Amino acid sequence: MDISKIVEKHSDYILKAERDLWGMPETGFFEHKTNAYLINAFEEMGYKLTKAENITGFYTVIDTGKPGPTVLALAELDSVIFEAHPEADKETGAVHSCGHHAQCAALLGVAKALTNKELLDGLCGKIKLCFVPAEEGIEISKRKELINKGIINFASGKAEFISRGFFEDVDLAFMVHQTIDQPEGYKFGVVEGHNGVIRKKTTFKGKAAHAGAHPHEGINALNAASMAITAINSLRETFKEDDRIRFHSITTKGGSSVNTVPDEVIMESYVRGSSVMALKEANKKINRVIASISAAFGANATIEDISGSEPMHDNKDMIKCVEDVVGELFGAETLSHRGFFASSTDMGDISTLVPAVHAYVYGVTGTFHGGDFYVTNPKLACVDCATFEIGLIRELLKNNAEKAKNAIKNYTPQFKSVEEYVKHKNVVNMEKTTVTYNEDGSIDLDF
């Protein structure tokens, strides 16, 4: 069976989808146009869909008709924001400069090709195709608002889908992310894993005063925030290299007017790390700094920690399957092997419950999340990607799902159930006002 020929019959369809989806970038949990486009395409193909209630995203299940494991293949709906990109949405600044639209086009191509039942010959089990929202961890305040309204439980799409029970029947999972071109000859890539992340919103509270005439009557929240960032940066030498700790932040509110001492400053931040324990310890150090610096200025700070993505450790058995598929379909020399990435993906959450792999396909150039990001080889990034994904599905489910069962047998989950996973995530979620000023002049810190 020539998988490539079957997929390439739908090349025009896949490439049109890539262009259409590029033109409708939307941020996490608000990908309404993208969601509607893909739902319409799937329903036109005759697929029965399970749609997420109140938010974007959906899945469909393809049954081979023979008992066996369920393989989950995912694509991400959301874009980032970078107003300076020449093709960013003029109103929102949203742009697909991470390539998620190409993921969606590729997985749409998988669905289109799988309408040819020949591709299911010799397979057992089920195939779940899922389009999931909100992988990019941006607009923390918007997501916090959705949580407060009870619309979502978690700020990341895959964590939200897990909490809703959408993946409880899943035995293995994979996705393919488009990535920047490497030296000539490479088409696909595998990595060891990705950092986990805790997302933070910190509100520094000071006291307003006239910045020229009476600054001594104020408490400058912006100075407290700036000094906190400086102090956190001074922590870097205390972090172990193997833990791959990263801290980065932006200020989303820096005051009200230049002639008034800033009384409220809002900072959004990420803390990243390669293990749950390393992440927890680094975040505690950072919270201690925020509380201490706020107290030193006579200010206060409210810290909102929001559980982000879990560390991702790609399953070795599934990496071997990727190697076999790329070798068979494209040549072993076209697969790159790269180390551990300090970036994060909520695919890590899925990897805590089932064996998973987060593979890569080349075909894009420029800078991730930047102004020069473009899909320059859509044939590779979308059509060949769809061919690979079908090849990986077949590799896992052929021969009585021998390789899938082997991966499952060798895998030890970090969490034994969705309930245990959700409990862990909720422990990370925290909101605290960090400084208490007592009547006797003493200060208590809580972080």
Residuewise pLDDT in 10s, the chain (447 residues) = 899 999 999 999 999 999 999 999 999 999 999 999 999 999 999 999 999 999 999 999 999 999 999 999 999 999 999 999 999 999 999 999 999 999 999 999 999 999 999 999 999 999 999 999 999 989 988 998 999 999 999 999 999 999 999 999 999 999 999 998 666 789 999 999 999 999 999 999 999 999 999 999 999 999 999 999 999 999 999 999 999 999 999 999 999 999 999 999 999 999 999 999 999 999 999 999 999 999 999 999 999 999 999 999 999 999 999 999 999 999 999 999 999 999 999 999 999 999 999 999 999 999 999 999 999 999 999 999 999 999 999 999 999 999 999 999 999 999 999 999 999 999 999 999 999 999 999 999 999
Give which of 33, 85, 194, 160 is closest to 422, Cα–Cα.
160
CA atoms of 107 and 84, how far apart (whole Å): 29
Helix axes 100-113, 32-44, angle to 10 degrees: 10
Residue-level pLDDT at 388: 98
Residue 343 and residue 158 in contact, taking contact as beta carbons nearer than 8 Å: no
CA atoms of 74 and 102, how far apart (whole Å): 12
C-alpha radius of gyration, the chain, whole number: 23
pTM of the model: 0.92
CA atoms of 267 and 139, how far apart (whole Å): 12
Strands, E, within 237-355: which ranges?
A: 246-253, 264-273, 300-307, 312-313, 335-337, 340-344
CA atoms of 160 and 152, how far apart (whole Å): 7
The backbone region for 105, taken as left when phi is positive above 0, alpha when psi lies in -120 to 50, beta otherwise, is alpha
Residue-level pLDDT at 222: 98
CA atoms of 109 and 346, how far apart (whole Å): 23
Q: Provide the residue type at 286 as one letter.
A: I
CA distances 367 to 84, 89, 187, 295, 407, Å, are 13, 18, 18, 40, 34
How many other CB atoms are found less than 10 A from the CB of residue 177?
A: 21
Strands, E, within 117-261: which ranges?
A: 126-132, 172-180, 188-190, 193-205, 246-253
Six-digit token string for 172 = 């293995």
Q: Which residues contact 137 (CB under 8 A, 6 or more apart)?
A: 155, 156, 197, 199, 270, 308, 309, 344
Residue-level pLDDT at 1: 83
Burial class (CB in 10 A: 0-12, 13-18, 19+), 40: exposed
Residue 426 and residue 305 in contact, taking contact as beta carbons nearer than 8 Å: no
Helix axes 32-44, 11-22, angle to 10 degrees: 160
Give which of 138, 125, 16 is closest to 76, Cα–Cα.
138
3-state secondary structure of 196: strand
Give which of 390, 402, 399 is closest to 116, Cα–Cα.
390
CA distances 335 to 15, 326, 361, Å, are 23, 7, 9
3-state secondary structure of 271: strand
CA atoms of 351 and 353, how far apart (whole Å): 5
Residue-level pLDDT at 184: 78
Six-digit token string for 114 = 């799988």
